[in-house]
Amino acid sequence: MNNNELATKPHYPILDGLRGVAAIIVVTFHLTEPLGTGHLDILVNHGYLAVDFFFLLSGFVIGYAYDDRWNKITIGSFFKRRIERLQPMVVLGMTLGAIGFYFTDSTLWPLIHTIPAWKMLLVMFIGYTILPVPLSLDIRGWEEMHPLNSVGWSLFFEYIANILYAIWIRKFSKTALSILVGVAAILLAHLAITNGDVSGGWTLNVEQVRIGLTRTMYPFFAGLLLSRVVKPGQIKNAFLWCSLLIAIVLYMPRVGGAAHLWMNGVYEAVCIIIVFPFIVYLGASGVIQTKAESKICKFLGDISYPLYMVHYPLVYFYVAWISNHKGITIAQAWPYALLILTGAIVLAYAALKWYDEPVRKWLRKKLG
């Protein structure tokens, strides 16, 4: 079956728009993160939960797009389509990170200028595959799976979820899938409450990989289950209400403070397990009412993935600047943060039009 035949299902434009809203909030989180002293006082405190929201959206969309098509497609063709969709921006994001690497020398990363070019290029080429680099290749010193583009870790887990779905879990009955999702919810709640949050997953060690898998399994397969059991309604102003809900959840200050870490864990567990599926249901049920709303959702949806994949190479410059100017306040930093945010959105749109869309079109022809 060819791609044109596969592309005939009606779209969920509001879900695309919500992905864009969450992607912009992720950027604001990464821009306020270096101004905090730790988890407890970041201005956009729960911005990292956008990743869990992305996983849930992804599971919902994958289920909707592919669940009833496995009599027409093979596992191989499914993976070809996922690679065509995800890999071009992975390659661009890693390349941008490599180009900027030696220019982010700072007191935070004092050893960057001592890293030989061959080692940096090796990290880049491994990054192109989205396979995590071992800690022996941690060229930045942050213990990232992808030291040239930190956000690559979530794509690694996205691929794991896609592989599990295609090879095995797509065959689950609603009952079996419900049991899996229930167990995953318990493990997620346990992680959140015992740790005080779900933040983590970007380092290649046993504990961080456990966090990454726990953060992936519930939302992705809850999204899949949602796509199977829920019949979307007809809700007006859904994009507005859903955007407000996402903003409230992600901009919520830390709950409970240092004395009661578990309270924040309960908050995050409730958001991921209950609130996010509710938002996706509302978004899937939403009715686009105006041309302006349609254009906004399309634009936000189009830039969401490119923005997520290109913003962090810019953020490294910003973090280096802050670390070189100790004691900078949000009042001093916000013009630079706004510049990075605007630049990232412009870069994402340029990457979409001049790189991602043409490369994906070429890959569609090559991969068939």
Q: Which pTM was predicted?
A: 0.96
> What is the per-residue pLDDT across 90-105, written as a single tens digit (0 to 9) for each?
999 999 999 999 999 8
| Model pLDDT, residue 10 | 75
Question: What tokens were used for 108?
Answer: 């935070």
Quote the CA–CA distance of 151 and 141 in Å, as a whole number.
15
Q: Which of 231, 224, 229, 239 is nearest to 288 (CA)?
A: 239
Phi, psi of 286 (to 5 degrees): -70, 150
Can you say how many angstroms the Cα of residue 141 is from the centroid of all Cα atoms in its chain? 22
pLDDT band at 2 (very low <50, low <70, confident <90, very high): very low
Q: Residue with structure tokens 């046993």? A: 206
What percent of the chain stands above pLDDT 90?
Answer: 88
> What is the per-residue pLDDT across 207-260, written as a single tens digit (0 to 9) for each?
999 999 999 999 999 999 999 998 888 999 999 999 999 999 999 999 998 899
Question: What tokens were used for 125?
Answer: 């080429």
Lowest mean pLDDT among 28-42, 94-108, 176-190, 260-274: 28-42
How many domains does the chain divide into? Answer: 1
Q: Which residue has the higher pLDDT, 233 or 27?
A: 27
| Model pLDDT, residue 9 | 73
Q: Residue with structure tokens 């192109």? A: 128
Residue 200, SS3 per DSSP: coil
Three-state secondary structure string covering 67-95: CCCCCCCCHHHHHHHHHHHHHHHHHHHHH
| Model pLDDT, residue 8 | 58
Residue 292, domain extent: 3-367
Q: With contact defined as beta carbons under 8 Å apart, do 265 and 273 qualify?
A: no
Query: Residue 162 above 80 pLDDT?
Result: yes
| Model pLDDT, residue 1 | 39
Q: With contact defined as beta carbons under 8 Å apart, do 345 and 47 qualify?
A: no
Query: Residue 180 above 70 pLDDT?
Result: yes
Q: Evaluate the CA torsion angle 151, 152, 153, 159 in order and state its sign.
A: positive
> What is the per-residue pLDDT across 45-90, written as a single tens digit (0 to 9) for each?
999 999 999 999 999 999 999 999 999 999 999 999 999 999 999 9
